[in-house]
């Protein structure tokens, strides 16, 4: 421990702390922009300046030492921070009124806090980019903070971004100058949620959805992913306890959708198919392990970086693609009689879903399973566009028969949820009894423990499972499997840290990771549900009786399964 004085207070701090950490102990509020704890402490933005022993230093990467005297709020310190924010704004194309990040831009917030004036400097032109790609980069809004570089390389192991040059000539770019679609991007969207400005965003598909809503010859169907219920209220000022699934269903109806379904229903359907597939897998001699397949970011990562494992993916489509296929096939006659075509919209916590819905192999004779994907941020922007007071909405039920779901489906949205839900039903299919299976998630993952493993005894058969979230943790697990260091039967992978609750399409709160808090919401909904096993969902059973016959039937394979090895990238 070392002793130092911060703003006149005597503080003891661990010798491995930075000044930023120590100032936090003293209750000083130090602004940051480029800093990411443990990942990015390059001090490029210089907004965390403090005075230390008479000199201005960046607090984010200055180590504490014995006897330091620190001032955090002296007028000359604040003036220096303000000047640095001004410099950042002068090199940044600011068009705040039209920017999708206007309410969550950390740079704009700092400019407001420091009363920075509009610049008369030349503003950089908007850079060229493939606007059809689900991830959009506008280099003219980049402040060269390197947060995207750090997140992509150190957390997600894709290393899509790199920098060239130094000082004022430094630029961030796609690695090796490649087109973004050739750079190995998994479309996890973590660079978007960690970007402090509007330099990185998801492709905006709200206009496409609006066109469908306005077309009298279109039957608009919307579905909402499990993780959305834990986060949608954040962007429209609805408290977490009030942002209920029923209020969300009402909000979707207020936007004018003809039918409002819950993707949780299809999550139950996924479990019936994937659980049955796993039961067959366990009695086969196929190479271990079998991997879950509901996360398109993980599927892209495997195809681009670990293609040797793609053949071990479950053939089950992701839940929203299943829901789209079921909607288009079961409602085809109703739509035709009304002289309309069906347009399916998915509200997802994910950027990779925008890619997934465009994969040609994900279609039936009725056409593409899903026509458009909105992130939660786009959904919230539409609610604001329509001036909907979400707090005033009464709760309503989802439309039937594709709206009833179980707690097992709800926990799909957090890491370990797919594994737990699948095993709840797989064990029942094997033993005839519902298991008492505890949660297996990666919320508490550490660099030393990047994945979670368990071994279960199922009717005398050992079942070895693992769960990993975040692509860096995934890479470590795949390397261990390939090296023969671990033997597993079933593995769940989620591309985003914490699972879909931490997805790249979720609402953004600067420097706050909300996956754990959102996951707790989903767990509470699961525990409160009267139905907690997918195989007990009566509407799922009716779907099989009326349309699909049984899990893994011919029709099930036609509607609900795919071969990821054939997917276009």
> 């199922």: which residue's tokens?
458
Q: How many C-beta atoms lie closer than 10 Å to residue 170's C-beta?
A: 12
On the CB side of 419, how many CA atoms lie within 13 Å of its CA? Answer: 30
Q: What is the mean pLDDT of residues 273-297?
A: 96
pLDDT-based confidence at residue 105 (cuts at 50, 70, 90):
very high
3-state class of 556 per DSSP? Answer: helix
Instruction: Tell me the pLDDT band of 216, cut-offs 50, 70 and 90.
Output: very high
pLDDT value at residue 438: 65
- Are 87 and 78 a contacting pair, CB within 8 Å? no
pLDDT greater than 80 at residue 123 = no
* Average pLDDT in the chain: 94
Whether 283 has a pLDDT exceeding 70, the answer reads yes
What is residue 416's predicted lDDT score, i.e. its pLDDT? 93
Mind listing the pLDDT tens digit for each residue in 56-73? Answer: 999 999 999 999 999 999
**Which of 320, 244, 169, 153 lies closest to 161, judged by CA?**
153
CA-nearest of 173, 131, 145 to 32 is 145
Instruction: Show the tokens assigned to 103.
Output: 């309410």
Q: What is the mean pLDDT of residues 475-504?
A: 97
Q: Which of 156-170, 239-253, 257-271 has the lowest mean pLDDT?
A: 156-170
Given pLDDT bands bounded at 50, 70 and 90, which one contains residue 40? very high
**pLDDT tens, residue by residue, 448-466:** 789 999 998 888 889 999 9
pLDDT for residue 227 is more than 90: yes
* Measured distance between the N- and C-terminal CA atoms of the chain, rounded to whole angstroms: 53
In DSSP terms, 9 is beta-bridged to 6
Cβ burial of 232 (10 Å; 0-12, 13-18, 19+) is buried
CA distance 328 to 438: 36
pLDDT, position 168: 75
Looking at residue 124, its pLDDT comes to 72
Give the torsion through C-alpha atoms of 542, 255, 236, 135, to 10 deg: 80
Percent of the chain clearing pLDDT 70 (strictly above): 97
Domains, in order of start, for the chain: 2-88 (3.10.20.740), 120-201 (3.30.70.20), 207-566 (3.40.950.10)
Q: State residue 401's pLDDT score.
A: 87
The band of 442, judged by pLDDT with boundaries at 50, 70 and 90, is: low
pLDDT band at 90 (very low <50, low <70, confident <90, very high): confident
pLDDT of residue 182: 96
Q: What is the pLDDT of residues 151-200, one digit of tens each?
A: 999 999 999 999 988 777 889 999 999 999 999 999 999 999 999 999 99
Q: Is the pLDDT of residue 98 over 60?
A: yes
Closest by Cα among 451, 424, 420, 431 to 535:
424
Q: How confident is the model at residue 119 (pLDDT cuts 50, 70, 90)?
A: low
- Condensed to tens digits (0 to 9), the pLDDT of residues 351-406 reads 999 999 999 999 999 999 999 999 999 999 999 999 999 999 999 999 988 889 99
| pLDDT tens digits, 324-344 | 999 999 999 999 999 999 999
CA distance 464 to 39: 33
């Amino acid at each position: 421990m070392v002793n130092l004085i911060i703003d006149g207070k005597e503080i003891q701090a661990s010798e491995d702390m930075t000044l930023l950490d120590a100032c936090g102990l003293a209750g000083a509020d130090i602004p940051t922009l480029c800093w990411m704890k443990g990942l990015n402490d390059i001090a490029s933005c210089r907004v965390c300046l403090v005075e230390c022993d008479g000199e201005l230093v960046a607090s984010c990467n200055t180590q504490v030492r014995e006897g330091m005297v620190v001032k955090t709020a002296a007028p000359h310190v604040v003036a220096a921070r303000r000047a640095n924010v001004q410099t950042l704004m002068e090199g940044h194309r600011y068009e705040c009124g039209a920017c999708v990040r206007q309410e969550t831009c950390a740079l704009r917030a700092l400019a407001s806090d420091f009363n920075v004036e509009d610049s008369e400097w030349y503003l950089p032109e908007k850079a060229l980019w493939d606007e059809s790609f689900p991830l959009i980069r506008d280099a003219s809004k980049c402040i060269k903070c390197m947060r995207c570089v750090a997140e992509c390389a150190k957390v997600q192991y894709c290393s899509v971004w790199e920098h060239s040059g130094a000082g004022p000539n430094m630029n961030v770019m796609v690695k090796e100058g490649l087109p973004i679609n050739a750079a190995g991007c998994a479309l996890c969207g973590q660079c978007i949620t960690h970007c402090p400005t509007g330099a990185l965003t998801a492709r905006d598909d709200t206009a496409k959805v609006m066109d469908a809503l306005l077309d009298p010859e279109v039957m608009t169907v919307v579905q909402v992913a499990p993780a959305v219920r834990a986060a949608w209220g954040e962007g429209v000022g609805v408290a977490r306890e009030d942002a209920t699934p029923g209020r969300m269903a009402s909000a979707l109806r207020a936007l004018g959708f003809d039918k409002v379904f819950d993707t949780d229903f299809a999550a139950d359907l996924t479990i019936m198919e994937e659980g049955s597939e796993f039961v067959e897998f366990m009695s086969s001699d196929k190479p271990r392990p079998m991997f879950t397949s509901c996360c398109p970011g993980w599927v892209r990562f495997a195809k681009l970086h670990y293609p040797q494992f793609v053949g071990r993916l479950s053939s089950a489509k992701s839940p929203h693609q299943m829901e789209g296929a079921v909607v288009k096939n079961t409602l085809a006659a109703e739509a035709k009689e009304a002289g309309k075509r069906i347009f399916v919209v998915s509200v997802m916590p994910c950027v990779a879903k925008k890619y997934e819905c465009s994969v040609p192999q994900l279609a039936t004779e009725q056409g593409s399973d899903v026509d458009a994907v909105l992130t939660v941020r786009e959904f919230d922007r539409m609610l604001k566009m329509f001036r909907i007071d979400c707090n005033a909405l009464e709760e309503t039920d989802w439309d039937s028969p594709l709206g009833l779901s179980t707690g097992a489906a709800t926990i799909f949205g957090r890491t370990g949820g797919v594994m737990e839900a699948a095993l709840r039903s797989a064990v029942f299919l094997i033993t005839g009894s519902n298991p008492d299976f505890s949660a297996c998630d990666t919320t508490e993952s550490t660099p030393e423990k990047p994945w979670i493993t368990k071994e279960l005894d199922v009717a005398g058969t050992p079942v070895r499972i693992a769960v990993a979230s975040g692509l860096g943790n995934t890479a470590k697990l795949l390397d261990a499997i390939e090296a023969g260091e671990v033997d597993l039967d079933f593995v769940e992978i989620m591309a985003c840290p914490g699972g879909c609750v931490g997805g790249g399409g979720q609402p953004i709160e600067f420097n706050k990771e909300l996956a754990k808090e959102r996951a707790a919401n989903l767990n509470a909904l699961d525990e409160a549900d009267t139905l907690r096993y997918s195989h007990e969902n009566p509407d799922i059973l009716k779907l099989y009786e009326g349309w699909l016959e049984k899990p893994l039937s011919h029709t099930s394979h036609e509607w609900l399964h795919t071969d990821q090895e054939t997917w276009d990238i």
